[in-house]
Amino acid sequence: MSDDAKRLAPSRRQFLTGAAVAGAGAVAAGAAKAAAPDPLITEVQDWASGLGEGVDATPYGLPIQFESDVVRRNVEWLTADTISSINFTPIHALDGTITPQGCAFERHHSGAIELRKEDYRLMINGLVDSPLVFTYADLERFPRQNRVYFCECAANSGMEWAGAQLNGAQFTHGMIHNMEYSGVSLRTLLEEAGVSPEGKWVYVEGADASSNGRSIPLDKAMDDVLVAFKANGEALRKEHGYPVRLVVPGWEGNMWIKWLRRIEVMDQPVESREETAKYTDTLADGVSRKWTWEMDAKSVITSPSPQAPITHGKGPLVITGLAWSGRGAITGVDVSLDGGKNWQAARLAAPGTDKALTRFYLDINWDGSEMLLQSRARDSSGYVQPTKAQLRAVRGLNSIYHNNAIQTWWVTANGEAENVEVS
Amino acid sequence: MSDDAKRLAPSRRQFLTGAAVAGAGAVAAGAAKAAAPDPLITEVQDWASGLGEGVDATPYGLPIQFESDVVRRNVEWLTADTISSINFTPIHALDGTITPQGCAFERHHSGAIELRKEDYRLMINGLVDSPLVFTYADLERFPRQNRVYFCECAANSGMEWAGAQLNGAQFTHGMIHNMEYSGVSLRTLLEEAGVSPEGKWVYVEGADASSNGRSIPLDKAMDDVLVAFKANGEALRKEHGYPVRLVVPGWEGNMWIKWLRRIEVMDQPVESREETAKYTDTLADGVSRKWTWEMDAKSVITSPSPQAPITHGKGPLVITGLAWSGRGAITGVDVSLDGGKNWQAARLAAPGTDKALTRFYLDINWDGSEMLLQSRARDSSGYVQPTKAQLRAVRGLNSIYHNNAIQTWWVTANGEAENVEVS
């Protein structure tokens, strides 16, 4: 136990008293291992009486039936059709930082299409020395990179602008996932085609009906963008752009083009639907900000939360959540139990890395009284996650996208949690 | 493109000549985006004509149908029954370092059992101040840790002692996986029970019929061992010990007790079946080594390999593989194209971390002649992965476990690969 953990964690022995082994003397060292007299132990022994399932049963393994509620969920009233809609990662039920592909959120503008690797083509054209078309097999021959990055939809927490709406971290903050990508640097492919001196932007589009075209400044395209074909080691799922998607680290998810089809080098941005009518932020005076690509530092407590109430009463309690920044690494997270009046530093499970999720924990001894739980992220650029009031003072109430405000969960004395706002 | 990559990677333009866009002028900047005249481009456009699948289709996502061969496989003749057997991670088809739970190898001694969280109990007894029984909900209240570790079966590559046997990296080296675990430090739980001064070992066992009991020195138990309940963010799969398994970083997989039921603090090891008749190494003179817990540094080229041949002919080729060490971090990997006569440093995708998989790449311009591919790992302890001859000189030919020798793939001029030995 680290010194930090010692300081934060009161002894748990008290709450375990009820489960202390009856007749402990009988199971002390040297006694027969199966002779424990406690009824709980007898119950445990029952599982040892039969054989389990063989190794040929599940060539590709699935979650156990008892975890069937840990799934992506969509909200029916949010969009007119599921084809152009979103579902949410069950972050309230996950731990660690990696998001399994199976429960990583989806966002489509015209549904998830099905492409074979053999049919796949990627074109690079426009202001280049040699326009090129790559097959999937071509892409596999370029030097590869591997890196963990978060992908957050710009609309994540968007419903919360006007007040506390959706009750659950999955729904308020679940348009995010975090995976280890393998792929080719976009810079490598652009250098292969040869970018003309007048090239300043790339226009990227997908093979789905929406095409979802977006303009990206050449500087970013030549920096850390990946043309990725694997996530968490295996092929991308269909719904995440199989066989090839763009990974645009730290920038809004809408730019992470799925089923990537074409990259055109241009001297100016296209000003497409996706970067004018959508994915811009309308301010109080009706004027919209655009080119708001980077996702600012943000955090959320995933447990306890409305979908993950406290069920064990007062005493030791693990408060945990996720923090991230599109502008660098998370350097710290503070947690408040009283709606932002007092803050204490949470423990980061590992040092933050650039543009990836960081898991934080605060181990407390809950006295059973109600709490207003908040978390506040800090990143390597010196930025501190703002309150909703601070964000509204600058941006007004018309926005949908880029809400990175501090979130509040009201935890009642019975351990239930609710999405609320504090003034 | 890094300087390293530039040095290693010849220009790929040559092999792409055939795919250069015909009539490139017509698709230069400013032209209509849909007007590309090349037949390949026309073909790509076809996918944009229909709608895809909605976000309600797959609450828990699965691999796309085209990847149905990327699964765990067992080898029927290897064991008498699938209940006490093994299957293999398809490492030849994966990239990056994280292993998705769905294709992470399984090893059972009496099958995978099904336990509910509500029924789960973990007992700590023996030489402790207070014998304790924890429920799953109790475990969730202790401070948690997160860390990526590899788990390798001691028998991984075991069939290769006597010569090249199984044809494919999945089968020679696929008894390994690498996940991000979330759980409680075993030290924390032992401190909760209070270890008596005479306690020097812990005996750990599972709730399955085999119980798979193993003795672990107290020093290791108090160091980095985790009582884990999540892998890659979500609940453990049934076949990996749901709801709780032991994670024993760097040590042989047999000690990573699944369905963890009991931890007894003792003054001496139990000398159980699993650490005497099994998981020991019989030397040339018939005497067996035991307490060979740590997995020595090892590596394997995953592609090209027998299940992942070169299909594109000569020219740019990505050689890639995995390296790991139970004694620390991987500091370097060398690759040989000629069976160990000459070596060149591979590129590590990221700096190695303790007791976790490291991905390496070597980008070459293949001249189309046959190769004897080998990789050789080095770790932070200064250890260098040995040849089979070096290992046999010390250990003889009777061993099954702990074969960490250099592996050779013979790549023929047509790009196919075969498992061979070089003298």
The CATH number for A117's domain is 3.90.420.10
Confirm whether B350 is domain-assigned. yes
pLDDT tens digit sequence for A333-343: 999 999 999 99
- DSSP class of A12: S
- Kindly give the parts of chain A with pLDDT less than 70: 1-48
Q: Which helix (H) or strand (E) holds A172?
A: helix A169-173
By Cβ distance, the residue of B44, B51, B242 closest to A110 is B51
pLDDT tens digit sequence for A14-53: 333 334 443 333 333 333 333 444 444 445 445 667 889 9
Distance from CA of A50 to the nearest CA of B (A): 6
Q: Do B383 and B361 belong to one domain? A: yes
By Cβ distance, the residue of B12, B97, B144 closest to A142 is B12
Q: Do A201 and A350 belong to one domain? A: no
Q: Please list the pLDDT of chain B residue by residue as tens digits (423 residues).
A: 334 333 333 344 433 433 444 333 333 333 333 334 444 444 544 566 788 999 999 999 999 999 999 999 999 888 888 989 999 999 999 999 999 999 999 999 999 999 999 999 999 999 999 999 999 999 999 999 999 999 999 999 999 988 888 899 999 999 999 999 999 999 999 999 999 999 999 999 999 999 999 999 999 999 999 999 999 999 999 999 999 999 999 999 999 999 999 999 999 999 999 999 999 999 999 999 999 999 999 999 999 999 999 999 999 999 999 999 999 999 999 999 999 999 999 999 999 999 999 999 999 999 999 999 999 999 999 999 999 999 999 999 998 999 999 999 999 999 999 999 997
Residue of chain A with shortest Cα separation from B48:
A209
Q: Do B231 and B351 belong to one domain? A: no
Q: Do B263 and B403 belong to one domain? A: no
Q: Do B264 and B126 belong to one domain? A: yes
B83 in contact with A at a CB cutoff of 8 Å? yes
Confirm whether A9 is domain-assigned. no
Q: Do B195 and B92 belong to one domain? A: yes
Q: Do A273 and A410 belong to one domain? A: no
Number of domains observed in the structure of chain A = 2
Is A55's CB within 8 Å of B82's CB?
yes
Residues of chain B with C-beta less than 8 angstroms from the C-beta of A192 = 11-13, 16
Nearest 5°: the CA angle B125, B238, B256 is 45
CATH of the domain at A363: 2.60.40.650
Confirm whether B26 is domain-assigned. no
Q: Do A191 and A82 belong to one domain? A: yes
Q: Do A91 and A215 belong to one domain? A: yes
Residues of the domain holding B313: 298-420
Give the distance, in angstroms, between the CA of residue A216 and the centroid of all CA atoms in the same chain: 22
Confirm whether A256 is domain-assigned. yes
Which of B286, B315, B333 marks a domain boundary? Answer: B286
Q: Which amino acid is present at A286? A: G
Residues of chain B with C-beta less than 8 angstroms from the C-beta of A24 = 125, 130-131
Confirm whether B27 is domain-assigned. no
pLDDT tens digit sequence for B109-150: 999 999 999 999 999 999 999 999 999 999 999 999 999 999
Which of B262, B286, B310 marks a domain boundary? Answer: B286
Q: From the candidates A3, A64, A274, which should be mutated to test the interface with B, based on the most B CB atoms within 10 A?
A: A64
A345 in contact with B at a CB cutoff of 8 Å? no
By Cβ distance, the residue of A11, A21, A130 closest to B133 is A21
The residues facing B344 across adjacent strands are B335
Q: Which helix (H) or strand (E) holds A182?
A: strand A176-185
Residues of chain A with C-beta less than 8 angstroms from the C-beta of B47 = 113, 115, 207-208, 259, 261
Instruction: Determine how many CB atoms are found less than 10 A away from the CB of residue A276.
Output: 13
Question: SS in 3 state form for chain B?
Answer: CCHHHHHHCCCCHHHHHHHCCCCHHHHCCCCCCCCCCCHHHHHHHHHHHCCCECCCCCCCCCCCHHHCCCCCECCHHHCCCCCCCECECCHHHCCCCCCCHHHCCCECCCCECCCCHHHCEEEEEECECCCEEEEHHHHCCCCEEEEEEEEECCCCCHHHHHCCCCCCHHHHHCCEEEEEEEEEEHHHHHHHHCECCCCCEEEEEECCCCCCCEEEEHHHHCCCCEEEEEECCEECCHHHCCCCEEECCCECHHHCCCCEEEEEEECCCCCCHHHCCCCCEECCCCCEECCCCECCCEEEEEECECCECCCCCCEEEEEEEEEECCCCCEEEEEEECECCCCCEECEECCCCCCCCCEEEEEEEEECCCCEEEEEEEEECCCCECCCHHHHHHHHCCCCCCCCCCCCEEEECCCCCEEEECCC
Q: Do A355 and A407 belong to one domain? A: yes
Which of A287, A314, A331 marks a domain boundary? Answer: A287
Instruction: Of B243, B163, B227, B220, give the one whose Cα is nearest residue B189.
Output: B227
Q: Do B87 and B201 belong to one domain? A: yes
How many Å apart are CA B185 and CA B206, to the nearest integer? 18
Confirm whether B39 is domain-assigned. no
- DSSP class of A274: G
- Read off the tokens for B286: 């018939």
Confirm whether A67 is domain-assigned. no
The answer for A 278-317 residues in CB contact with B (under 8 A) is 311-312, 315-317
- Read off the tokens for A379: 């990143």
Residue in this structure with the two tokens 């040849």, named with its chain if needed: B387
Instruction: Of A222, A240, A210, A252, give the one whose Cα is nearest residue A355.
Output: A252
Confirm whether A213 is domain-assigned. yes
pLDDT of residue A47: 62
Q: Do B223 and B136 belong to one domain? A: yes
How many Å apart are CA A13 and CA B267, to the nearest integer? 24
